[in-house]
Every structure is written in C-alpha cells, then in structure tokens.
Amino acid sequence: MSLHLSWVDSANLARSDFPLNNLPCGVFSHGPEDPRCGMAIGDFVLDLTALEEEGLLTLTGGPYLDVPFWNEVMEAGPDIWADLRAQVTAHLAKGAPTRAAIEPHLLPLGAVTLHLPFLVSEYTDFYSGKHHAMNVGTMMRGAENALPPNWLHIPIGYNGRASSVVVSGTPVRRPWGQVKGPDHAVPAFQPSRRFDIELELGAVVGQGSTLGRPVTVEEADAMIFGFVLLNDWSARDIQGWEYQPLGPFQAKATATTISPWIVMTAALEAHRTSTPEREKPLLPYLHEPRPMLFDIELEVALAPMGQPETVIARTNYKEMYYSAAQQLAHHTTSGCAMNVGDLLGSGTISGPQKGNRGSLMELSWGGKEPFEVAGGTRSFIEDNDTLTLRGYARGDGFKIGFGACVGQVIPALADPYARKK
C-alpha cells in the first residue's frame, strides 16, 4: 500500500506514526476544556467532537462523539467505523475542498493531554506467545516440560482487572505483596523486588456477543475495533508464590498501561499475516479462514532516571501463536458474553533470539544474566526507571504507528496501610 497524501504536511513524513493511512482514535483535552474525541494526523490531533457539532462530520444515528470515549462509536458497528474513516480521510486528503473549515480544529499534539481512549468494560490477558511461554516454562520447569500439555491446543488466559488499566504516562507504583523465597519457611509481606513488564498488543472489542452463543473466528475478527500497545506490569516474586494452582492474581493487578491511540483494524488490513504452522492440529472452531495476525514491529526501551533510554528488546506481533480473533472466539466458547470496550491482552510478545524477549525476566533469565542499560545494568525494574513500548506496521515509505506507551515506576509506599487523619 502506498502513502495517502494529506494537506497536513507532517503526516507525509516517513518519521510520522500518524499518516493519513492510519487515523488512530484517541481522547484529548486542551487547557481547561473537557476531554473529547479526536484522531491523530501527523503532529496534530483533529477535534472530531467539534467537527460533529458543526456538521462537518455526519454519521447515521449520531451524535456519537459528544462523549469523552470511543465506546459509542464502537457500539454503532462496522458500517459507522468505515464511514467515519472515509469522511475524515476526505477532509484531510491533499487538495480537499474542506481544508479551510477543518484546519481550525487541528491542535498540536504537544499542546494536549491524552486520556484513556475508551471505557474498559473488562480485561482478559492471554499467554499466547510461544517463545515467551517456552522461556518462562524452561526457567520454572525445565526445557522438557516448558509448555503445559494444553498450550498447543488452547489459548490460555486469565481474567484481569479493568480498574487497573491506565493510559500511557501514568506513574506506576511498585506494589506490595506476599513473597516467599525458597529458603524461607513462611512468606513475608514486602514491596516487590522483581517488578517487570510484558510487551503486548491489546485488542479492543468493538462489538459485543450474546450470552450463551459462541462466535466463530471470522465473526470475532469483525468484532475487533482496533489495537493498542499494552504493558502488563508483573510482580514476578509475588506471582511465583501465588500462582499455583489458579494462576496470576495480585501479581498482575498493579497496573496495565495502554497507548493513548487505538489503531483501527482497518488501518492494518494491508499488514495481515498468518499464524505459524501448527505443531498440533487445532480443533475446528479455532481454524482461521484467512490471515489473522499483523506484521507489527515492536520495541521496548528502558531509561533510568537522568539517563538516556536504551532499547532492550525488538520483536514483532507476527510471532504470536494465537491471533486476537482466535482468543476472542475461544473466550466465547462457554457462552460468555463479550462487551463493547472489552480489552484482550495478547500475552508477552517475544521472538526466537535473546534480543527479541518482551520481558525483563526473559532478558535477564530470571535475574541470572543482568543486561546493560545507560548508567549500569538491570535484572528487573528499579525505582524511577521509565519503560517505553513502541510499535508500527511498515508501509512503503511510511508507517502505521501506535505512539508511545510509557510508564515510570515510582517507589513503593513506605507503609501501605498508613492512613492520614
């Protein structure tokens, strides 16, 4: 696919995450104004709420953009999604006759505050990266038992906390929890010392399903409005004590940071790719009628306080063993109803090489192999470290980017149960 030229010059630059081909959806505020819906274009955000108010954007059944979240647009369905993209594309295209009316509604990205782009209904995190599962399983159980027997047959996941989902830039406080080392008879309650990230992509569910009725993989694919970068912060020492037999709980409940822009599935269509060859045949309900993954390059950078960032990992979403559509379809097999605004984490995205590992636990091999960053080394996250995820699908001279997904880890509370009087 070639670059679609815009009269917004910065959108035509190869460095931009937000060319006209992209048009990701976000929520922003400017000064004392209330948050409102917008789309990123080049170095600007286009105020769609204002366009709808002025009749420059008309969607059947609207208004949809008079609220500070994208859920109402998502609930309106794929025809509205397509119409919205078509109208905004026409307004921003090079030579558009409406430029004079549209241009006053552009605001520099550097002058706005970005907010959560949608109301998160529920959050489910999967464990669908084979390289990550092999690495973690090898550390915990040995290479011969790295993958659980069900892993090659079923997308494994757990229900997380929607209340912990925060937008990029929100500080993340180091959590307290129960920790038990191998040489201790009883657990201790203390701040996590093995705090970590997980590099993931989050699928945003734009259409719900009916209680009691599973959906197919093809139906699930059509239900996904778009994707965000997702950092599922993880307290490995808390998880190591609590996860048997029921899996992650408090170790994963501290925070889940997402990028402020939803890249719509429509913007990624030209970058579809297939899931890998199966080692074990999947059951028919998980079969994919066409490519369901996307070729999205990803990276993780770590910056200690006062130091420049170091890119510590590079990988690609096409490394996933299960697609978001398979995860969503499997989620409904019990009859579980999915809601508009549900968020599905892909699971940690790692690749086959050491430099492709999407978590510090893998990069340091459980703390045994510290790696270098500016100003020192790391095994796990230290206080005041800033972690940044980036991602984009590469076009011919342009990219479909997600913006940055940033979080700084701040020190644990001195006494988590102290109360001001």
| Catalytic residue set | 132
**Residue 86 in 3-state DSSP?**
helix
**Opening angle at CA 86, ends 81 and 92, nearest 5:** 125
Q: Which residues contact 9 (CB under 8 A, 6 or more apart)?
A: 42
Residue whose tokens read 């490995």:
236
| Close Cβ partners of 68 (under 8 Å, ≥ 6 residues apart) | 27, 34, 35, 36, 37, 115
Q: How far apart are CA 283 and CA 233, in angstroms?
A: 32
Closest to 23 measured CA to CA, from 53, 57, 54: 57
Both tokens of 373, joined, read 């960053």
Residue partners of 281: CB distance under 8 A and separation at least 6: none
CA atoms 247, 253, 254, 258: torsion sign: positive
